[in-house]
Amino acid sequence: MTCKTTLANGVRILTHQVPHVRSVAMGVWVDVGARDESEEEAGYAHFLEHMMFKGTKRRSAYELAKAFDAIGGQSNAFTTMETTCYHARVMDTHLPIMVDILSDMFLNSSLDPEEVENERPVILQEIGMLEDCPEDFAHHLLEKYAWGDHPLGKSILGSPKNIQNVRSEDLLTFFRKYYCPSRVIVSLAGNLTHQHVVDLLAPSFERLIPGPGRAERKTPVLQRGVRVTARPIEQVHLCLGAPGLAITHEDRFAASLLTTILGGNMSSRLFQEIREKRGLAYSVYAFSSGHMDTGMMGIYAGVAPSTVETSAELIHKELKGLCTEPVTLEELEGARAYTKGNILLSMENTENLMVKLAQNEIHFGRYLPVEETLARVDEVTQESIMDLARIAFGEKHFLVSVLGPSDNAAALGEKFGMPMKEACGEKKS
């Protein structure tokens, strides 16, 4: 059973009662992320996320950590392009304590200047670590080139310059500006009762003062062409981006099945063709990333430098096949069963339920019952998948990002149907 209460200031409290479990998961969500920052604020949302664990007016950073450890709790936080979340999970008997700790962290963070100085090098190291993992860095480059100067093309971590210069008062101003009540959602799932949760949360969260909030978001245009970032590493990391769907789009279920059939599991076309049959890659997969107003469908493959063009040709062949012939009924039913299985299995975890509850509220303004989602998956047809493939993977729609010891941009451009003059290589040492 799901319930919702909106406090007088606009804070929304959502619960999903699961009586047969012994855990409760809680998340304090803010409908604000890295894409909402100004150029000068880039990285502030992520920095503020770190600072929430660094002490409040009542508890030091050590005391916050000790309080969670004392009840066997798990706590963490994350920042995305569009949301920020502070979350925890505990035994149901410790619900009041968890609510008290998370509420204190979120509403009463001290943002101590000394703690800001202590955390600054940690975040700078986090920025530096990005290039140490080529696969992660390859995805970052794809986003950067896909969205260009738009905030979606920036790193969630921010720029080293901003992180070097940010002060405690800057983070406090950011909190007061963006963390307004109408953008705050508190979601909980597990062995609980809704009214008990509201009674625990309301006294603290109803005191949150409204602020100006985030500006209206602007929709970017996906760039195309070929971008090469040269690095002296062992593999070539090939990423391909194509027009995708907004996270609320009616065809999102077809997109999910299309991604699964193309490269979403071990029986998918790309995995079978590139890894199993030819042994060209250890890691190869398709993915779909959606935002509130846009999205991208993509493919990743990590291959040897000598097999880049062959791998690209095989990827293009699979994409062309999706555009010209319907997927088989066997493929469709397999992807459908795989997707529905993942959805149902995720429902057995209270943390997943808490996330689903909040994301449904942010994206749709209501809770989407699992039965409704499963029904929409069942509605996807072979024709709808092919229609979507034609839109996403039609000729000359691609952005290709290459990371590694390769600079054959023109050849890769030709593989994906782009004229040589549009294959723009960018080398970096």
Active site residue 49: yes
Cβ neighbours of residue 253 closer than 8 Å, sequence gap 6 or more: 373, 376, 377, 379, 380
Question: In what order do the strands lie in the sheet containing 399-404?
Answer: 225-230, 399-404, 236-243, 295-303, 281-290
- Cβ–Cβ < 8 Å for 13, 5: yes
Count the residues in the chain.
Answer: 429
CB 90 within 8 A of CB 72: yes
Strand 184-190 and strand 12-17: pairing? Answer: parallel
Q: Which of 49, 273, 331, 414 is catalytic?
A: 49
- Cα→Cα distances 103→27, 75, 78, 107, 110, Å: 10, 13, 16, 6, 13
60-65 long-range contacts (CB < 8 A, ≥24 apart) are 61/115, 64/101, 64/104, 64/105
Tell me how far CA of residue 92 lies from CA of 26, 73, 138, 197, 347, in angstroms: 11, 11, 41, 12, 18
Both tokens assigned to 248? 């609320």
Is the separation of the CB atoms in 233 and 404 below 8 Å? yes
Rounded Cα distance between 354 and 352, Å, is 5
Q: How far apart are CA 385 and CA 332, in angstroms?
A: 9
Q: Which residues are catalytic?
A: 49
